[in-house]
Amino acid sequence: MTATAADTGFIHVFEPGSDAARKPLLLLHGTGGDERDLLSLGRTVAPGASLLSPRGKVLEGAAPRFFRRLAEGVFDEADLIRRTHELADFIEEARSRYGLPAPIALGFSNGANIAASLLLLRPEALAGAALLRAMPPFRQPLRVDLAGKPVLLLSGLLDPIVPAAGAEALAQTLAADGATVEHRSLPASHGLTQADIGLLKDWLARV
């Protein structure tokens, strides 16, 4: 059964899982996606896991996002901070409502960037994160205790939006904060490939 509700402050979909051993996934879409965008991916890479998928509340034109940007690759950090805390509060409310442990974030592009921000600002909200095509959310690295928190970072070597140096800087920031980071750079652009899906499925089976 799929339940959609808006009274937590976020339009979202929750799909209860069938495998209690699986950590739930928090699915965070990219620019222009919505709460249904990553459901199929979530089912594929974590069969049996509960899926919690909110829609970003910021509109760029008609495209939903999780926070504002000033230009491509230039984030409105004040808005990002506010939206990150708002999303963390939603996770807390949803966990109470649906009886969930802390989820693993699975974020793509804009969703991966706010997932990285969650790790840095509200690390207690997540059990870990898979960051697909992410860049550093803040200009200055933040110091936080991420000891042992698992993070998968999948980057595209041909990505025109996320420079390789940016992805590497994010990996280094999270590792310096104590996260257990697995960073893989793939011969891919900004879009996801079968290689991403295979690596993601394998990683999720291990965490």
DSSP string, the chain: --EEE-TTSS-EEEE--S-TTSPPEEEE--TT--TTTTHHHHHHHSTT--EEEEPPSEEETTEEESS-EEETTEE-HHHHHHHHHHHHHHHHHHHHHHT--PPEEEEETHHHHHHHHHHHH-GGG-SEEEEES---SSSSPPP---TT-EEEEEEETT-SSS-HHHHHHHHHHHHHTT-EEEEEEES--SS--HHHHHHHHHHHHH-
Catalytic residues: 109, 159, 190
185 and 155 in contact (C-beta within 8 Å)? yes
CB atoms within 10 A of CB 135: 21
